[in-house]
Structure 1
């Protein structure tokens, strides 16, 4: 059974499960504002040393928790600039991109 559409705060009627274009625009603008204040990846510690450590870790831990090939190394607990936590391998986990992105999106939604 299909669920009924809903009324967006802008006044448009939107199908169930679909985001209004005004909401998508607001999200893009919010993310752009955040990106202006965010340090670059290199400034956050993701430099050549990290790339080497990441590659080595993925060689030893090639499988994501879902069973797919791992493509990135995720910090289980966000390090937020804490270098001890950043380099603590017990805080690393191998993830495929879909799992990584899903995990990070969940964290972002929790912050909002």
Structure 2
């Protein structure tokens, strides 16, 4: 099976196929840290005790992941609420997902949108 040739990073280093240049990985870590500093806490975004109770009740009545059928562990907002309390609490906007689907499929869908 042929191996893809290394690529050249912006910093000038040759990077093997399938891996990332350390300078790009460091830049990503710094960018994510800056984003996290500006992001409100979960409590400030509405994920408080009232949410935990509603989440627990919803998962009890919707035990399987809407994407793969595994056991659901996350209540996902189909349409990102972006701070809109009405959309946040609208149960018709909620869907049960497993952690794997929420962390991979759903996040990649949101990035594309």
Q: TM-score, normalised on structure 2?
A: 0.90
Q: 2:110 aligns to what?
A: 107
Q: 1:39 aligns to what?
A: 40
Measured in 2, the distance between the counterparts of 1:49 and 1:87 equals 10
Measured in 1, the distance between the counterparts of 2:40 and 2:55 equals 20
State the Cα RMSD in Å: 1.5
Alignment of 1:19-98 (within 5 A): 19-64=20-65, 65-98=67-100
What SS does structure 2 have at the residue aligned with 1:62?
coil
Cα-to-partner distance string for 1:27-82 (whole Å, 9 max, x where unaligned): 11111101111110000000000000000110111111211111111111110110
CA drift at 1:106: 4.8
What SS does structure 1 have at the residue aligned with 2:96?
strand
Measured in 2, the distance between the counterparts of 1:52 and 1:81 equals 19
What SS does structure 2 have at the residue aligned with 1:93?
strand
Q: TM-score, normalised on structure 1?
A: 0.91
**Unaligned ranges ≥5, structure 1:** none
